[in-house]
Amino acid sequence: MTQIATVEKNLGGGYAEISVPRKSACGHDCEECAGCGMTGAAIRARARNDVGATPGEKVVVESSTGKIFGVVVLVYVLPVVLFLLGYFLSEGLAENWRYAIAIVAAIVSIIPCVLYDRHARRKEVLTYTILRRF
């Protein structure tokens, strides 16, 4: 996945700190909506800087798509799967208990998300590479 980012500072060793605007489903057409009050939040990340971009420059960056799909599965699919497993595997119990077990199973899915987040922060699993100046 490619995005446009701004180089904030050079970190040395062929890396730079970049600021990537956060994307959302709404499109940020605030004049039309004015519903969420979301401003243009940005994510700061470390990126490989082989093109020698300098602070203040707009650049095109690429992130590792395969790893992002893994995160999407972990965060969005796992809770749904565990909810359904909790519901269907508790067959024979009262309906209230089935829903309670399903909700607890979905909440338990937060644990792998938190553990992976900690691992990803330590190991910088989700990497960016500056492809070219914008």
pTM over 0.75: no
Pairwise CA distance, residues 40 & 87, whole Å: 39
Output phi, psi for 101, to 5 deg: -65, -40
Per-residue confidence at 117, pLDDT binned at 50, 70, 90?
A: confident
Give residue-wise pLDDT tens across range 89-107. Answer: 999 999 999 999 999 999 9
pLDDT for position 96: 94
pLDDT for position 82: 95
User: What are the Cα distances from residue 59, in Å, to 9, 38, 40, 50, 125?
Assistant: 13, 24, 18, 12, 21
pLDDT for position 39: 56
Whether residue 80 has pLDDT greater than 60: yes
Give residue-wise pLDDT tens across range 16-33. Answer: 999 888 765 565 555 556
Pairwise CA distance, residues 93 & 87, whole Å: 10
Pairwise CA distance, residues 93 & 80, whole Å: 20
Domain containing residue 125? 2-133
Average pLDDT over residues 74-98: 94
Average pLDDT over residues 109-113: 91
The domain tally of the chain equals: 1
Per-residue confidence at 134, pLDDT binned at 50, 70, 90?
A: confident
Q: Which amino acid is at 21?
A: P
